[in-house]
Structure formats: structure tokens, C-alpha cells
Amino acid sequence: MIPFNKASISELEKVYLLDALQNSKLSGDGKYTMRVYEQLRKRLGLENVLLTTSGTTALEMASLLIDLQPGDEVIVPSFTFSSTVNAFLLRGAKPVFCDIRPDTFNIDEKLIDGLISPRTRAIYCVDYAGVSCDMDIINEIANKHGLFVIEDAAQSVGSTYKGKNAGTLAEFGCYSFHETKNYVMGEGGAIVLNEAKYLERAEIIREKGTNRRQVLKGWTDKYTWHDIGSSFLPSDLLAAILSAQLERWDEIMQKRLAVWNTYHEALKPLEKAGKLRRAIIPDYAQHNGHMYNIVLPDDYVRTRLVNELKKLDVMAYICYVPLHSAPMGLKLGCRPEDCPVTEEYGGRVLRLPLYADMLPEQAEKVVQMIGAIL
């Protein structure tokens, strides 16, 4: 059986987890959390980054940090996970769904300008499949209109845009270390604060609105309530797992890229034969092998392919049901025709199994099956 995803857990994760259990703190900000910060600093040059309980709560923290108010509008792609939108819906802000580019399925930067109103406060963009959005253009639009940009980099840890690391390309970057992502801690994430001025408030918001972290750092001895906040700080036990994963950064990255490249090569004849479209990576982006997508002629062919692959014990996955036409999107008053490109590709994209410990030979086998079925 080839599952859709499987986390790569080695002896190192077990050693660190056991050590954390015996010798570190069970709550957050212990030895392994600090080690993770050091690893992220060395690897990605991140100076101000905080681990969170999930990618979702990293996005929620960003929404708190920019002080979104009820009635504010946020421009966001519809082809994403519910968390990207829930993060600001929880603050009373309203989504203005932007259509996607047909090549990367990322927000179509050319359409953003036309969606800006006097109430627009922010753009939440999503690096789908580990491929960065065209951030220079998005930042330029945001600067012109005084908008915040939040980069949902849940899938793009380790990817780059014009040589710069995903997650560092806007005011805030949000990573996920959920078990389905490239580097895992079970449930977890991080918020990257690319402007140092946000760090102090972020630490308070993450600690239930208290200055606990400042007390721990010895900056003050008065432990008290300063702001709104929640419990966004993950256990050091989970940080221990992540620390092992980050130590295995190159191994995990290379293995994923090997599977990705095998798919890309093996699928070439099927693309030539007009059976499907392969993944498209723009010149400005270097991806992290997070996922491999194919585009099928229509929803009927896709559904048939998923079912036939399942009979052969291969788990392919229909990515996202576009949010604007999902039950919640319709409740918010969106209409399917609001985002025609999203609507079309939402019915045609299929995500193939891909995980670090998958063998390139298995990817070849999956492609043979797809060829036979199509």
C-alpha cells in the first residue's frame, strides 16, 4: 500500500523526545524549543520566530498582531485550507476571495488591485504546494495601498523565491509542522516576525496575554496580564521531535525532491499524450518537494482515477474544495462564479502520494498505474 502521506521518524526523534521527557520542561520554551530557534536561525536566517501550537494558530496570531477589526476586508485565495480564512474570520474580518493563477494555483497577483476597497486591510497569500507566490508584485501592491501581507508558508518551509526563503517575504510568515508537512512535530507551527517590532507583543499574545516570557528572560519580575492572547505555545516535547527533524533537514529535503523529480520525469509521456498536465514551477521559485499535483481533463476523470488507484492500494488525494463555493463560503454570501479559475482547477487537480520515505521506484509504479487507468 502507498499511503498519501507518512511522516519520516528516525531514531533521532525518539532519542530527543525521551530526553525531553526526562530532562527538559514538559511545557513550552524549554531546551528543545531554544534549539529549534537556533536551527531555524542558522538554516533560514530567522531572527524573530516563535513556535506555535499549529500553522493555524500562527495565522491567528498574525491576525491578532495586525489588529484586524470587524468589517475589515482581507484579500485571500479561495484555493487553500480553511485555516487561512478562519484566522481572520475569528477577528470579524471578511474574506474577499481572489482567483488563482492557472499555473501555480497561487493567488493571481494581477487581480488583487481590482479587489481593493477602502476597507481592505491585508492580503493573506498562500504558497500552494511549496511554490511561492510572486511576492515582489504582491508587496508592491500592498505598499501602494498600505496593506499588511501575511504569507501562509505552511507548505513552503525550505522553499525560496528569487533566492529568499519562503516565510521571510512579508511582514509575517506562518509555517506548519503538522504531520502532513515537510518537517513535523505532530501538531505545531511557527510565526516568523520579519519586523522585530512585533516580537514583544507576539510573545505576550502567545502566552495568554501575559509577559511570562519577559519574566523568564529576567527583563522584569512582575508576571501579569498585558494584552489579549491565547495558549499558542507548544510543549517542549513536540519541539524535541521538530529539532530532530530539522537536524535531518537535507536528508528529508533530498528524499522528497527525488520522489518529486521522479514523478515529473515519469509523467512526461502522459502529458505529451494529452492525458494530464504536470506541475509547473515558475522561474522565480525553488520548491521544497512538498507535493506533486497533476491536472486532469475534468472531475469525472479525476474521480475515476482516484477510485481505481484506491483499488490498487494507492492513495491519491483531491486537494482543496475551493472555499468560496464550500458550504461555509456560500453561507458568507460568496457565489461559485466569483473565482472561475479556482472553480475549474478545484475540480481537476489531483495530489499524488509523496513523502520522504517513499521510494522513487514507488513513484514510477504509481505513474505506470495512472497511465494504465487513463
Could you say whether residue 154 binds ligand PLP (CB under 6 A)? yes
87, 205, 214, 235 from 226: Cα distances, Å: 22, 9, 12, 23
Q: Which is nearer to ligand PLP, 20 or 154 (CB)?
A: 154
Smallest gap from Cβ 54 to ligand PLP, in A, equals 3
Indicate the angle between helix axes 55-65 and 82-89, nearest 10 degrees. 30
Q: Residue 170 and residue 148: Cα distance in Å, rounded?
A: 8
Could you say whether residue 84 binds ligand PLP (CB under 6 A)? yes
The burial of 339, by beta-carbon neighbours within 10 Å (0-12 exposed, 13-18 middle, 19 or more buried), is given as: buried
Could you say whether residue 83 binds ligand PLP (CB under 6 A)? yes
Checking 133-136 for CB contacts under 8 A at 24+ apart, the result is 133/104, 133/106, 133/107, 133/109, 133/161, 134/106, 134/109, 134/282, 134/284, 135/161, 135/169, 135/170, 136/162
Q: Which of 48, 63, 78, 155 binds ligand PLP (CB under 6 A)?
A: 155
- Please give the residues from 213 up to 232 whose contact with ligand PLP meets the rule CB under 6 A: none
Smallest gap from Cβ 221 to ligand PLP, in A, equals 34
Smallest gap from Cβ 41 to ligand PLP, in A, equals 21
For ligand PLP, what does the binding mask look like between residues 100 and 139, x meaning CB under 6 A? --------------------------x-------------
Could you say whether residue 151 binds ligand PLP (CB under 6 A)? no
Q: Residue 34 and residue 47: Cα distance in Å, rounded?
A: 12
For ligand PLP, what does the binding mask look like between residues 188 and 207, x meaning CB under 6 A? -x------------------
Smallest gap from Cβ 162 to ligand PLP, in A, equals 21
Q: Which is nearer to ligand PLP, 37 or 81 (CB)?
A: 81
Q: Residue 319 and residue 335: Cα distance in Å, rounded?
A: 20
183: nearest Cα among 232, 241, 128? 241
Q: Which of 33, 39, 54, 159 binds ligand PLP (CB under 6 A)?
A: 54
For ligand PLP, what does the binding mask look like between residues 161 and 180, x meaning CB under 6 A? ---------------x-x--
Q: Which is nearer to ligand PLP, 154 or 295 (CB)?
A: 154
CB 43, CB 242: distance < 8 Å: no
Q: Which is nearer to ligand PLP, 157 or 276 (CB)?
A: 157
CB 324, CB 78: distance < 8 Å: yes
Helix (H) or strand (E) holding 124: strand 120-126
Q: Which is nearer to ligand PLP, 24 or 53 (CB)?
A: 53
Q: Which of 28, 30, 55, 130 binds ligand PLP (CB under 6 A)?
A: 55
Q: Residue 59 and residue 150: Cα distance in Å, rounded?
A: 8
Task: Find the part of the chain contacting ligand PLP (CB under 6 A) among 136-144, 150-158, 226-234, 322-330.
Answer: 150-158
Q: Which is nearer to ligand PLP, 83 or 139 (CB)?
A: 83
Q: Residue 200 and residue 19: Cα distance in Å, rounded?
A: 30
Q: Which of 81, 88, 97, 263 binds ligand PLP (CB under 6 A)?
A: 81
55: nearest Cα among 31, 82, 32? 82
Q: Which residues are near ligand PLP by CB under 6 A? A: 54-56, 80-81, 83-84, 126, 152, 154-155, 176, 178, 189
